[in-house]
Chains A and B, each alone.
Chain A
């Protein structure tokens, strides 16, 4: 009996932990539960509520969002409710992606969800989200890259509200100037380590299983990447370029940085924040989600674009946060009205900005926020020219193999060419199976 009870506690615990985004690990990369693909758009989800919310039967419009955004949304939901004389409820879901899929399958899902754009392919595959016909007027008010991210097979499925990407955060007490190149960054870091002022040259999440999201900019610097793009700009699942000449050059850089201990598989989501916030690391490649903690730790920081490496400019993936309407929405008219007429409002976008410090997707809101907030401008600059993370289901086949390949190369366990060839083979085989 004891063992049983322990098992139950343990399982609940895991569930709680998994749903809270693996204890606050902070990769905004796509994914469900394993940390190679952990999503951390929900870094502060409460571990006390493990189950999916139960749809409020008395409400005319039900919205599911994570713990951070739900309280802010409620205010605008109430306003919308008053205008249309309906009851609108915003419920907190700890794992919106999975809980939405599961609940919708049995007809108990919400009408609207708030989530990342890279869930899109998977949600369409399971027929859980409906297209949104946004007028050309409205969509032109958004950053073009954000609108592009809400499309799948040419159809629009949501309205964006924020764009996020990684950049180079530096501790200005150790590194007053932003390095333009990775070589410069490494030499500055090495000097600081030698002088005993720092313990690490650079902090970047790698972990034992690697992290494809943070690996991508190194490949992209040499025109490598994950998928080639079709003529219309969509990612082409049949053309994997993980072992292209460009990607391999990036992999060689990873190997070099691993040998210099600038990158290490011993730095992961578990300890990356703590290492930087201890003030012993000059540089940290991360996103807006790490800033609040650094501020709390009293670190003086500055944000700049990723450096160039080996002559190529590193470019991050863009992640777009958006509102989806359920394909099985019980209140489709209200849901569409809310998403097409309320979300594109400047005040809503600005309020949501406060929830995550990500630059708003609505150009008007971005301009206003960035004028008074240098961080937002810096994140935006760091993401300039970046491509949206693939939202095709084939991306699910990439996270594991590519992340592990990068980890093995960084750890010096394998040679870039052989290891990335193997990863390419595995990814292609997995996509064929899917």
Chain B
């Protein structure tokens, strides 16, 4: 019976999973992401194959983790790496065809001196409002009425009724569409009544029409745009249209394209970026290392002190020490920023110093390390407290009997055992601090900045630098920022791999 129940539950769970997969698929399919549909379906098949059969027992345990790993970790990284080979960014975010369409559409201007019409959209009486051929019923400023279709404009007088604004409300032989019906007819977005010299009467909103003309024309054969108003020709170059004669501005709409290794080349060869990159990298490693060492030292010291069996009220002290950890990091960072203010901050007022904490490069670095010490030590304190309590008392007792003094015990017994437990956490902490975007961004924004180069600050980490490249400052460039992210990934991976190898060495003490 219980076996039966288990079976029912199993197949129920599988069915639920498949329903979810199916739902995701329909959503993706409705938006046209066909590759994603295939991938998600394959996940569904895998669920069926793994959990529906008795084979592949280890996979039954590994599969959920694997799916999450691929979906949440590997895919974003692959996507970032792919972006790194494009010029994706502001002004280069659409396809070339979209750019051309946009340039041509945006060049439509009102023909000077042309009348402004009041508009009603209609279909012939009896035809379907959603699909029937559209007609524009127009009233010019003098009150003359016209009907326009895809061929042109003709006079309209039969049975015309007008609202006080001049808008036609009824005409013989036509059914006037309501606002919703006009809005629902997407064909009207491109519909226009041709007028003289290539200009056309177009709709503005629901009740107005104007005579407009596109000044830009695209010639597919030569891949050029021509501005009929100025006679200027534009040719495609570096993913945007630039004047053929080299005089004047490029057109604003550029397009996304693959640029190969250009972003990586820029990162390594641009003298400003190269010098900055090395400077940032050095500070980044130093920041992460000093942060880990200082927070660990303080956390461990406090943990050792509060681990003494003779101390009373431990719970109170411990809760107090965890407080800085309980306050959201960004709040703390902002509070520290105001405390570091040279004129109005608490720190200078209490110490009677006049240090320009956030304006001097070295003072800013010190400020950041101080703030990070405050933010980070409770974590180390918790971790060390836990690890200390797991060190068996008999080992310590044996050492005491052998005549070891407290310092010796710390050095030879406690520290090695502690490090085995917290070693991987130190590496994790290093990796976290290596990318500690929040703190830097809220405390100094990467500054202070040197003259002549406001893209590279004295306290910038690689991640804040990449953020600035991608989202602010000079025209956002996701492609280049992605390339920098890939480089950061490689650096962190190398350092972490080395670190984990070292902790293996530590384990041999056991």
Q: Which A residues are within 8 Å of any B CB, using their own CB?
A: 2-3, 6-7, 9-11, 13-14, 17, 23, 31-37, 60, 84-86, 98, 101, 105, 107, 121-122, 124-127, 130-133, 135-137, 152-155, 208-209, 237-238, 264-267, 270-271, 275, 327, 331-334, 336-341, 393, 396-397, 399-401, 403-405, 408, 411, 414, 418-419, 422-423, 425-426, 430, 433-434
Cross-chain contact B441 with A14 (CB below 8 angstroms): yes
Name the one of B91, B110, B337, B343 contacting A393, with C-beta atoms under 8 angstroms: B91
Whether the Cβ atoms of B379 and A2 lie closer than 8 Å is yes
B15-56 vs A, CB cutoff 8 Å, 1 = contact: the mask equals 000000000000000010000000000000000000000000
Give A33 to B476 CA distance when docked, in angstroms.
11
Q: How far is the CA of A133 from the CA of B203 in the complex (A)?
A: 9
A418 closest partner in B (C-beta):
B451
Are B329's CB and A404's CB within 8 A? no
Is there an interface contact between A327 and B102, defined as CB atoms closer than 8 Å? Answer: yes
B58 on the interface (CB 8 Å rule)? no
Given contacts A85-B178, A131-B108, contact A124 B341 (CB under 8 A): no
* In the complex, chain B residues whose CB is within 8 Å of the CB of A341: 205, 207
Contact of A133 among B207, B210, B432, B442 (CB under 8 A): B210
Q: Mostly helix, strand, loop or mixed at chain A's interface?
A: helix
- A264: chain B residues within 8 A (beta carbon): 343
Taking a contact as CB atoms under 8 Å apart, the answer to whether A396 and B473 are in contact is: yes
**Smallest CB-CB separation from A101: which chain B residue?**
B93
A56 to chain B, nearest CB (A): 15
Secondary structure type dominating chain B contacts: mixed
Q: How far is the CA of A271 from the CA of B345 in the complex (A)?
A: 10
Closest to A237 in B: B249
Q: Which residue of A lies closest to B209 (CB)?
A: A133
Stretch from B274-282, B397-405, B452-460 contacting the other chain: B452-460
Task: For B329, give its contact among A10, A86, A154 (CB under 8 Å).
Answer: A10
16 A-B pairs in the complex with CB atoms less than 8 angstroms apart:
A2-B382, A14-B330, A34-B445, A34-B472, A86-B179, A124-B253, A130-B105, A131-B108, A208-B447, A266-B343, A331-B183, A333-B189, A337-B179, A337-B205, A397-B475, A404-B454
- Tell whether, in the assembled complex, residue A209 and residue B447 are in contact, meaning their CB atoms are under 8 Å apart: yes
Instruction: Specify which chain A residues have a CB less than 8 angstroms from the CB of B331 in the assembled complex.
Output: 13
Q: Say yes or no for B90: interface residue by CB 8 A criterion.
A: yes
Question: In the docked arrangement, what's the CA distance between A156 and B272, Å?
Answer: 39
A89–chain B nearest beta-carbon distance, Å: 15
Nearest residue, chain A, Cβ from B359: A208
Tell me whether B330 and A425 are in contact (CB under 8 A): no
Known: A3-B429, A237-B249, A333-B182. A400 touches B338 (CB 8 A): no
Q: Does B254 contact A (CB under 8 A)?
A: yes
Task: Using known A-B contacts A32-B472, A154-B109, A334-B179, determine if residue A405 contacts B329 with beta carbons closer than 8 Å.
Answer: no
- A10 near B453 with CB under 8 A, answer no
Q: B91 touching A126 by the CB < 8 A rule? A: yes
CB distance from A26 to the nearest CB of B (A): 15
Q: Give Cα A9–Cα B330 distance, bound, in whole angstroms.
A: 9
Interface size class of B (residues with CB under 8 A): 35 or more
Q: Does B166 have its Cβ within 8 Å of any Cβ on chain A? A: no
What is B's interface to A at a CB cutoff of 8 Å?
31, 90-91, 93-94, 98-99, 101-102, 105-110, 116, 178-180, 182-183, 188-189, 202-208, 210, 212, 249, 252-254, 325, 328-331, 334, 337-338, 341-344, 356, 358-359, 379, 382, 425, 428-429, 432, 437-438, 441-442, 444-445, 447-449, 451-455, 468, 471-476
Residues of B within 8 A of A397 (CB): 473-475
Q: Which of A121, A405, A430 contacts B474 (CB 8 A)?
A: A430
Out of A7, A126, A400, which one reaches B454, CB within 8 Å? A400
Count how many pairs of residues, one from A and one from B, have CB atoms less than 8 Å apart in the complex.
213
The interface residues of chain A lying within 8 Å CB-to-CB of B471 are: 32-33, 98
Q: Is A6 touching B343 in the complex (CB atoms < 8 A)?
A: no
CB of A101, distance to nearest CB on chain B (Å): 8
The chain A residue with its CB closest to the CB of B270 is A433
- Taking a contact as CB atoms under 8 Å apart, the answer to whether A400 and B455 are in contact is yes
Distance between Cα atoms of A303 and B165 in the complex (Å): 42
| Given contacts A86-B183, A124-B106, A271 and B338 within 8 Å (CB-CB) | yes
A136 and B476 alpha carbons, distance in the complex (Å): 36
Q: How far is the CA of A331 from the CA of B93 in the complex (A)?
A: 23
Q: List B contacts of A275 (CB < 8 A).
A: 344
The answer to whether B206 touches A333 (Cβ under 8 A) is: yes
A164 to chain B minimum Cβ distance, whole angstroms, is: 22
Chain A's closest residue to B188 (CB) is A333
- Tell me whether B453 and A265 are in contact (CB under 8 A): no
Q: Which residues of B contact A125 (CB under 8 A)?
A: 90-91, 252-254
Chain A residue contacts of B178, Cβ below 8 A: 84-85
Give the complex CA separation of A403 and B475 in angstroms. 16
CB of A430 to closest CB in B, whole Å: 4
Q: Of all chain A residues, which has the CB nearest B330?
A: A13
- Whether B468 lies near A340 (C-beta < 8 A) is no
Give min CB distance, B30 to chain A, whole Å. 11
A312 to B333 alpha-carbon distance, docked (Å): 41
